[in-house]
Every structure is written in C-alpha cells, then in structure tokens.
C-alpha cells in the first residue's frame, strides 16, 4: 500500500509522540523517532518497528548532525512530524526562550530547509508541526512557550507556500490530550472544565489528526485546532 515509506517523528520517546510512532509502525510505515537519550525501559521492551535516532536540538550543530545522518543514509521521507517540544517556565527568561526557540523553531526550520534531499521525489510528502492551542490565544504566565509555538505555526504556513505542491505542510494545535500521573484531582477537574466536551481524549486523537492530514490531498497551510471546544467556553 505504501511500500515501507518512511516517517520521521522528532521528540517521540514518550507519551503522545511514542503512541503515534507505534500506531504508524503498526500500520506498516517505517518509523524513525528522535530523542536526546535512550530510555532505560527500552532495554527490556524494545520499540517494535520503531528506530531511534539520538539528536540534540539545543544547538545548530546538533540539528545539522541529524540532517547529515538522514542524508548520508539516503533516507527518503513520506512525512516529517515535528513533535519535539520543551516546556519551561518564564522565570529563567533568557535561557528558557532560547531553549524553546531552538526546539520549536530552529530545528523545524533547518530540517524543513533540507527537504529537497530528504523527501521521496515521487510521492506527495507531508510536514506536520505539532503546535499548542495556547499559541493561538497567548498566555500571561507562559509567554516564551506560547510565542515559540506561535512561531512554529508561522513557519508551517510559510513552508506550505514554498514547498507546494510537492510537500503539504500543516500544523496541529492540541489542548489537553492526556494528564500526567501526578496531576491532582482538583487540577484534573479544573482542566476538563475548560473545554465544551470535557474529556481527556488520549493520544489517539493526535494520531487520527496526523492521518487526516496525510491522507487528504487537498489540505495545506492550515492549523487543525484540536481543543475539544475550548474556544466555545
């Protein structure tokens, strides 16, 4: 059906990214994921059908090393999913903004510029940027995070214009997808009340969104707002 086409997902060592990687691998794609360091649990439970590439997005050199690896191995991508994300508080303002800029904007920018050599020239490709619902409305408490995610969405629109028609470029902006284990009952109740649907949907909805964007040949330059109706509250 897709003859072992390759999908690269950045920052997919856990949670939503790893779920999507496993689902795409189960569907039959060859899946590569990046992470900064291997997870101890992979020793006993290897990632079936998912290959791990170590990559450090904190420097231009680290990002370029990943590009060099992909080019030297002559990887031909069907899709590139920018899932890598960093959440830092604004307290350490200069360092926090710089680190989130590198991950949310610099890495996608440089990887996308390398697209001409990374994507299969015979197939319409997809680049998908995983943003955040907060980027569309701003945040008084998380200014740097919101700003760099908004920059990621802007990159998505610009690359959609420059890479069409060979590569479609879109973004997904999730709100609450899944809680962390340590989240309190009070926090969960407050978070759920922010959306009209009031549920914790789980990572499958992100996978479904990815598949929609990949499977639809007539969508580019858009942002899929995956928020359960937060805009209605």
Separation of alpha carbons 86 and 146, rounded Å: 11
Which of 80, 26, 24 has its CA nearest to residue 55? 80
Separation of alpha carbons 36 and 187, rounded Å: 30
Alpha carbon 157 to its chain's center: 15
Q: Is 50 helix (H, G, I), strand (E, B) or coil?
A: strand
Residues near 156 by beta carbon (within 8 Å), at least 6 away in sequence: 127, 129, 131, 169, 170, 171, 221, 223
Burial bucket for residue 9 (CB in 10 Å: 0-12, 13-18, 19+):
buried
Backbone φ, ψ for residue 98 (5° rounding):
-65, -45
Selecting among 109, 145, 207, 218, the annotated active-site residue is 145
Catalytic site residue 187?
no
**Cis ω on the peptide bond leading into residue 165 (within 30° of 0)?**
yes
β-pairing, 6-9 with 30-35?
parallel
Q: What is the set of active-site residues?
A: 145
């Amino acid at each position: 059906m897709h003859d072992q086409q390759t999908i690269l997902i950045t920052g997919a060592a856990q949670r939503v990214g790893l779920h999507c990687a496993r689902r795409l691998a189960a569907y039959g794609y060859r899946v590569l994921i990046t992470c900064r360091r291997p997870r101890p649990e992979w020793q006993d439970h290897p990632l079936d059908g998912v290959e791990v590439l170590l990559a450090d997005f904190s420097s231009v050199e680290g990002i370029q090393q990943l590009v060099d690896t992909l080019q030297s191995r002559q990887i031909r991508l069907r899709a590139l999913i920018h899932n890598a994300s960093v959440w830092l508080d604004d307290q350490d303002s200069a360092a926090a903004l710089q680190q989130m800029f590198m991950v949310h904007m610099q890495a996608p920018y440089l990887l996308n510029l390398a697209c001409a050599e990374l994507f299969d020239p015979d197939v319409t490709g997809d680049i998908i940027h995983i943003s955040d619902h907060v980027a569309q409305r701003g945040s008084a408490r998380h200014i740097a995070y919101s700003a760099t995610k908004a920059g990621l969405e802007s990159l998505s629109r610009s690359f959609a214009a420059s890479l069409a028609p060979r590569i479609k470029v879109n973004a997904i902006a999730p709100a609450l997808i899944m809680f962390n284990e340590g989240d309190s009952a009070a926090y969960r109740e407050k978070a759920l009340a922010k959306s009209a649907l009031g549920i914790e949907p789980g990572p499958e909805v992100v996978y479904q969104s990815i598949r929609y964007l990949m499977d639809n040949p007539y969508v580019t330059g858009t942002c899929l707002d995956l928020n359960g109706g937060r805009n209605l509250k």
